[in-house]
Amino acid sequence: MAGLEQPIIIKKIKKSDHGHHGGAWKIAYADFVTAMMAFFLLLWLISMATPEQKKGLSDYFASKSISESTSGAGGVLGGRALDEEGAKMAGPAPDARDIIATPPPSTHPGTDAAAISGREGQKGQTEVAKTSQMDLQARDEQAFAAAAASIRQAWQAMPDITEIQDNLLLEETPEGLNILIVDREGRPMFPEGSKYPFELTRKAIAAIAPVLQQQSNQVAISGHTAAGGKYPNENYGPWQLTSDRANVVRSILGEHGLSDDHMSSVAGRATAEPLFPNDPYLAANERIKITLLHEAPPVPADLAP
């Protein structure tokens, strides 16, 4: 039996550690997934926004110091340059290059000479008025750019109003420089139904008074509200509320340095002029608009009193 015993063979296998593959690819993949989520979220938000909202966002982030004029180099001065005497045209006025056709000979030379002289005088007055108006527009554009920069600087110097920065907007329109104090969802600038603003709103309004006082332009103030508001008192509705808010804003500006001779008008517009006409119920339609108006064009010499 001893010859039939089989030897027992034991195999020992040594296990060796494999090299570490690393986890850098996991981080890269996570970044990729996050970027894709952000991208699709951006596409969704853009598709949900109305054209008016997109334009409002574009105007908010656009530089106010860039002129839309196509004359000259398209800059703030619209192709004109400044020197020590003020705004000057870079070249002769366009009408100055017009060629006056010589009339045919007449049997009454004295009458023809008087008519030509009268036309030339009238044309000269028109050219002077146009040049003055263009110079006035250039000064307004400079003043508005400087005023907008000063207002932004004044707001940025107040850390306590940082949380309402999105409620404070500046935009240049054909009417003038608009300073908008608008409501946002969850962030109103006035208590509901009250003509008195919140303290942060009051500080933001007070900060712009010295800047407006330094301008020669007139100031117009208007109050606006969104549609769908509830007014417990039937004798006190959106017209009364917006008028009272506009007048309270005028009072705050007056307390902090804006004199009454700078005021052009104070009005309540209720829901008549929504900021977003396609959505009159939007919170941003409830706002205060303070407009630094363009200066009135010069009166022609023949219309002077």
- Centre a 10 Å sphere on the Cβ of residue 136 and count the other Cβ atoms it contains: 16
Give 175-204 pLDDT, tens digit per residue. 889 999 999 988 999 999 999 999 999 999
Residue located via tokens 């240049």? 172
pLDDT confidence of residue 19: 55
Cβ neighbors of 63 (< 8 A, separation 6 or more) are: none
CA distance 197 to 184: 14
Residues 270 and 224 sit within 8 Å (Cβ to Cβ): yes
Delineate the domains of the chain, giving CATH numbers in brackets: 109-295 (3.30.1330.60)
138 burial level (CB within 10 Å; 0-12, 13-18, 19+): buried
Q: Check pLDDT > 60 for residue 68.
A: no
pLDDT confidence of residue 105: 53
pLDDT confidence of residue 93: 46
Average pLDDT value for the chain: 77
Q: Amino acid letter at 5?
A: E
Share of the chain above pLDDT 70, in %: 65
Provide mean pLDDT across the span 23-38: 89
Provide mean pLDDT across the span 33-59: 84
pLDDT confidence of residue 127: 61
pLDDT confidence of residue 295: 77
Residue located via tokens 């804003």? 249
In which band, very low, low, confident or very high, does the pLDDT at 41 lie, cut at 50, 70 and 90?
confident
Around 153, how many Cα atoms within 13 Å sit in the side-chain half-sphere? 8
Residues 61 and 170 sit within 8 Å (Cβ to Cβ): no
Strand 263-268 relative to strand 219-224, pairing: parallel
Instruction: Write the DSSP symbol of residue 235.
Output: T
Cβ neighbors of 277 (< 8 A, separation 6 or more) are: 52
Q: Amino acid letter at 169?
A: L
Give 258-273 pLDDT, tens digit per residue. 999 999 999 999 999 9
